[in-house]
Structures are given as structure tokens and as C-alpha cells.
Amino acid sequence: MRLRQSFHFFLFGMFVGLSLSGLIFFGYTSSWFSRTDVTPWLAPVVWEGTFDSNLIDSIYKQQNITIATTVFALGKYTRFIKDFLESAEEHYFVGFRVHYYLFTDQPEAVPEVKMGKNHHLTVRSVPSMDRWQDISMGRMEILETLMENELANKADYIFCLDVDTKFYGRWGVETLGRLVGVLHPWFFNYPRYLFTYERRQESQAFIPAGEGDYYYTAAAFGGSLADVHHLTKTCRKQLNIDAANSIEAIWHEESHLNKYFLNKKPSKVLSPEYLWRDINMSVGQVKIIRFSHVAKNNAEVRPNV
């Protein structure tokens, strides 16, 4: 454990050093085009140019790690599986051990996708649900159970990703950390008062006006097994309390995720390069799109919309 902590501390120093040197060299500040390279609690924010891919790959190759990755594809969302997996096999942790866990109510609809070396896919059947909100909120309990019952000796890290997405560029070991959040692509350059946190005090996801650091997406988050297990367990408990009180947070599990990250800061934050917004193009300071939602008609693919 101490060795792994020291390893992360070394990598943290490398990230912060690269980020701060970039800030000094180019005269950037955290408000330059709204770009932030280091959080107020000194966690690195990963953008293109803040890491050396060859160096960090060579460091992690020595760790012999496995990354579990979960996706959910229920109902009409099965149509996104093929592009997700095929693009992941081109860009996602290439050269490292990856085990995908795909949860679906239609196992027969999962297409055949050729897996790369040391990449594996396990398909798990889950019940269908009538409301997309229930699908969204139910993930936390399923993830908690998966980590408790199966992954303790099978994975070192885990990422939880939305299936209606596609990879366009490298997503590699530069993203690994104890607890990893991803800046929401719609809010990363907005002032805090515009964040759509849950504002009702009755909800466990409540964040008062004037509080909060960033607005994080629930479409992508991850970290070490222990840290993500604690996250999912906490969010699941809070979701259950809200349900017992007939309260549904404004953005469901995403609201609870943001509350969790307010109280327990991520050790690493990924820029919107790692989750963009339905278009394969860059804008402003986002020069590279690595991972993006795909364009879709929500009313057509979601139940009860």
C-alpha cells in the first residue's frame, strides 16, 4: 500500500510540475480561457500537454495493472454498444489489461467485437426498467455489488462510463488515480452560480449556493477499487434515503456524485477532452476530443420521455 501511495505521489508531482511549468512558460492563469490545470487542492487537471504519454506508459507498464470498465446498455441503448467497444479497442488503455463489464437487459443484442490482447468482455443480464431515471440511479448499487463480490482480486482500477459514447483519441494511464472526476462538458467554463447542483435541502444531494468546486459528469468517473467502492456505496445510501422521502435529485445520481466530490475531493480531474458533447469537433481550449457522447434523439431512445 505504501509503495502504491508513493507511486501516485511521484506521478502527482510529475503532473503538477508539467502543469505549473506550462502556466509559468505561457503566462497562463487559472482563468485563461477558463482553463484550469491544477485544482485549488492541488490535484492535476489532465489536458493535452500536461503529460508525456511515453513516459507515463513506461511507468505503469511496470505495475502490471488491470482496469475494470463498466457500461450499461438497456432498451434501445444497445444500439450504441458496437461503436463504444470498437472505438474503445482502438483508443482505450491500449497495451494494458482491461476487463469490460457490460450490463444489459438484452444479452442477445450484444454484437461480436474483436478484443485486443489482454482485453476481455463479460456480459451481465439485468432487469429491464420503465424509467431512464431508474436505470441511471440504479447503477450505483450494481457497481457497489460488483466491486464487493467480484473485483477485489481481479482489478486495480475501475472506470464507469456511459455507453452512448465513442472514443476518438487516446484514453490511457494518465487518467488513473485514487479518485477521478471528469469535468462536465457543458459547465467546465461556466461560473459556479450556473451549476445545476441539487438545491433542495430535503435531498441528500443538496449543495448550498456559494459552495462547490466544479460540476462533474456522471457519464465518466473512476479511480482505485477501494475509493470508487466507497463512492458508489455512499451515493447508493443517499439515493435510498431520498427515495424513502419521495425525493429525486434534479440530475439523479449525477447530483449525488457532485455532492460526494464536494466532500471528498478527486485526486485527479480529467478535462472535457475526456467527455465531450455530442460532436466530434474541438472548441476554444479543448483542442483534442478523446471521448464524446454521440448525437441521439433522447425522446426516441429513452423510455418515459
- At residue 68's C-alpha, the angle toward residues 64 and 70, to 5°, is 165
Rounded alpha-carbon distances, angstroms, from residue 295 to 44, 253, 258, 277, 292: 30, 22, 25, 8, 9
Rounded alpha-carbon distances, angstroms, from residue 91 to 58, 274, 290: 17, 12, 8
Q: Is-contact 170 274, C-beta < 8 A?
A: no
Give the residue among 294, 290, 296 at the shortest CA–CA distance from 167: 290
Give the residue among 106, 100, 103 at the shortest CA–CA distance from 76: 106
Element (H, E) at 228: helix 225-244
Q: Is-contact 126 74, C-beta < 8 A?
A: yes
What are the helix (H) ranges across 36-151? 53-61, 81-91, 132-146
User: Which residues are tagged catalytic?
Assistant: 254
Contacts with 192 (C-beta within 8 Å, 6 or more apart), sequence order? 210, 212
Burial of 17-29, coded b for 16+ CB within 10 Å and e otherwise, reads ebbbeebeeeebe
Residue 105's Cβ-side half-sphere holds a number of Cα atoms within 13 Å equal to 9
